[in-house]
Each structure stands twice: as C-alpha cells, then as structure tokens.
Amino acid sequence: MKITNLRTMIINIPLSKPIKWSFGIREGTSAVIVFIETDEGITGIGETKAPYSSKVLQTAINEMKPILINEDPFDIERIKKKLLATGLLWCPDYAVFVISGIEIALWDIIGKCLKKPIYELIGGKYREKVSFAAYIFIDEPKKVAEEALKYVEQGFSTIKLKVGINPEKDIEIVKEVRNVVGNDIKIRIDANQAWSPGTAIKVIKKMEKYDLEYVEQPVHKDDIDGMKRIRMSVSTPIAVNEGVYTIQDALNFIKKEAADIIVTDIHNPGGISECKKLCAIAEAADIPVVMHSGAELGIGLATMLHIIASTSNFIYANDTHYPLLSDDIIKEKFSFKKGSLELTTNPGLGVTIDEKKLELYTKGEIYSPFMDKSNAKWMPTSLRF
C-alpha cells in the first residue's frame, strides 16, 4: 500500500455559549482535518489543532505532502522521523501539531486496512468504557455551582473547574460547588499558569478543606522548580499540562519530581504513538495520566478513546469539551451515559465524516483559544499574580 495524496480542511464550529478562562474568552473551536489517500482506495482521517493560527498549521501540513507520497502508511515511525528532518525538529512545540494530524490519519488507514479498531492495535482493550469529567469555565460562583449540579444530575462524578482570574473568587467558586454537589463528587481545578508559586501555595492551602482531586498547572509551564516547590508545600496532588508536550518534557518533570499527575493530549506529544510513549514513561515512574481536551471535534474525541481504552494508567476521569460544542462533522455523534463513553468496534478511528457538515463548517470565522475577537475586549489575567 502506498500513500497517493494528502489534503486538508479547516473546520470552524461555534461553542454552544462563550466560555471564559484565565487567558480570555473563547467562542468556538477550529481544527485542521487531514485526509491521507492510498492506492488501495483507503482514506485515513486525522484531526489536529493550532494553538495559534489554523491557517499556518494547515500550510505547514500541506508542505509535508511530497514527503508522504509513495510511503507505506504502516511505516509510522519512519515517516515521523522524515517529517522531523524537514526542519520541524528545531521547533518541537509546533512540530507536534503538524505530525499529530498526519499520524492519526495513518493509524486510521491501518485500522481500516486490518478491519480492526485502533485500540486493538496499540495495546488492546484495557477498559470497556472511558469516563470523563464535566468541564465548567469561569463565571459567578453560584452560576458555576448550578451548572455543576446539572452535570451531577446527568451522572458525571467528576467536575473540572477553571480558575485563575481572582484568588478569592477562585476559592469562592470551589466552596460553592462543593456545597452544592456534596462530598462524593470529585472536584479538580485548572489555573492555566495564572499564579506565582507563592500565590498557588496560599490559594491551594485555603482550598484543601474542600478536598480537591488535584490542581492543574498552577504556575508558568516552564517553572519546573516552582511546580516542585508547590508540590512539596501542599497536600493536594499537583498536575502538569502545558509544561509537558513531548516525551522529553515528561521525563524532565519526572526527574525533578515536580508533578503527581501528567495531563497529556493527543496533539501535544505528536499523535497516538508518541502519546502512548509518554504514558509508558509516566507508568515507569508510577505516575497516572489524564487526557487533556483542547475542544476537539469528534475525530479527536475518537482518537482519545482509543488511547485511553488501551492504556492502563488513565485512572482518573478525562477532560472533554464535547458537550460544549454546538455541532460536529461526524455522523456518529458521541452521547455520554453517566459521564462515560463506550468503545466502538468499527475499524480505524470508527467514525465517518458527514460531508454536508464538512461543507457547512469550512465557512465562517476561524477560532483560536488565544485569538478570538472577544479577547480584544478582555485583559488576560494569566500573568502570575
């Protein structure tokens, strides 16, 4: 089997309502969809996201086409090394987004060719279904608590709260949610790098009476020493997310003993196989992993399911923005049952594109976590206070 073509599309889907976090206000999600065609009539689909510009990411992926043509899609490791050799090696934090969309599409081809779901090819079915946390963004404390209660009534047993705008308000949000949902529901928070180490220690200690599951990325992503200082100063587990993109990042955090949990991603490490490698490194250090969400569409969510289902150290509920999307481009839309999703037995990723939705959502403005027009009116507070 040989690769004969690569093509891409940018898809833009509004969220059901604007969401607020410490970096600004987000109104929608955009993704670059990757199609890789073969001489045997099998087309693989992948999804990747741009932390900055979807158009730049799309251009970078399209530039990889000459490298992919005539390659065997089964030769994933070899192809990835060839892609890095184009110069992507020198900008690894961006390279991972280029490679992940391509690599996911290659795995989709392999699964379709072998008539097997991807999880059967990357470790087998460790778990029958995958649990997720309800994801709630910054708002007035009582409104956040009301939203949390609605999720609990739907069967979610873990709540993830965004914080990082005002320490006292952050504490009040956690207090209100705990009072409403009771003691049996797990609560985790994500500050998105908003605090200094000193502020983080002070705030987390005040929150500890509310029994947090963990605190995610309290300080700047590069402040490994600050993360370790916080971890050694509080009793609440500390999770790293933005600080760990690549497998090398994971190893550095583990060596420094700077995190209790690694929140990884399908894109940040560079696709399915790199994510599996990162999880294996974490497992060797007896560190659990959680799947991060960057507001993926259905292709991305399907990819997450295959990785989580086949990897043992995903012991917590995982993140997802999926209930916040106004629509999707796949025919088999996901439906949560008591906060969980069941696995597909369909080959490859197990999802198919809705061509009408694909055409519909190539139109309209492109959304970015950091570049939505709303942010022109918003002063980001994630400057570490």
For 18-66, what is each residue's pLDDT tens digit?
998 888 888 999 999 999 999 999 999 999 998 778 999 999 999 999 9
Residues 305 and 205 reside in one and the same domain: yes
Say which residues have a Cβ less than 8 Å from residue 8's Cβ, sequence separation at least 6: 32, 33, 34, 35, 58, 61, 62, 101
Average pLDDT value for residue range 284-306 = 97
Residue 370 above 90 pLDDT? no
Q: Considering the domain boundaries, does residue 354 fall inside one?
A: no
Residues 245 and 317 reside in one and the same domain: yes
Q: Is 229 helix (H, G, I), strand (E, B) or coil?
A: helix
Q: Considering the domain boundaries, does residue 376 fall inside one?
A: no
In Å, how far are 44, 53, 178, 262, 366 from 210, measured between CA atoms? Answer: 46, 39, 6, 22, 39
Q: How far is CA 3 from the centre of its chain?
A: 28
pLDDT in tens, 221-231: 999 999 999 99
Our CA angle for 277, 227, 178, nearest 5°, is 95
Its domain, for residue 193, covers: 120-349
Least confident of 21-30, 90-99, 116-125, 261-270: 90-99
Average pLDDT value for residue range 290-296 = 95
Q: What is the CATH number of the domain that holds 155?
A: 3.20.20.120
CB–CB of 278/247 below 8 Å? yes
Q: What is the pLDDT of residue 112?
A: 98
Q: What is the pLDDT of residue 382?
A: 47
Last residue of a domain, one of 63, 86, 117: 117
Q: Considering the domain boundaries, does residue 384 fall inside one?
A: no
Residue 164 above 50 pLDDT? yes
Residues 49 and 157 reside in one and the same domain: no
Residues 291 and 253 reside in one and the same domain: yes
Q: Considering the domain boundaries, does residue 230 fall inside one?
A: yes
Type of residue at 307? I
Banded model confidence at residue 369, pLDDT cuts 50, 70, 90: low
CB–CB of 104/122 below 8 Å? no
The domain tally of the chain equals 2
Last residue of a domain, one of 117, 141, 175: 117
Q: What is the pLDDT of residue 171?
A: 97
Residue 300 above 90 pLDDT? yes
Residues 194 and 93 reside in one and the same domain: no
pLDDT in tens, 76-107: 999 999 998 887 767 767 789 999 999 999 99
Residues 62 and 172 reside in one and the same domain: no
Residues 217 and 329 reside in one and the same domain: yes
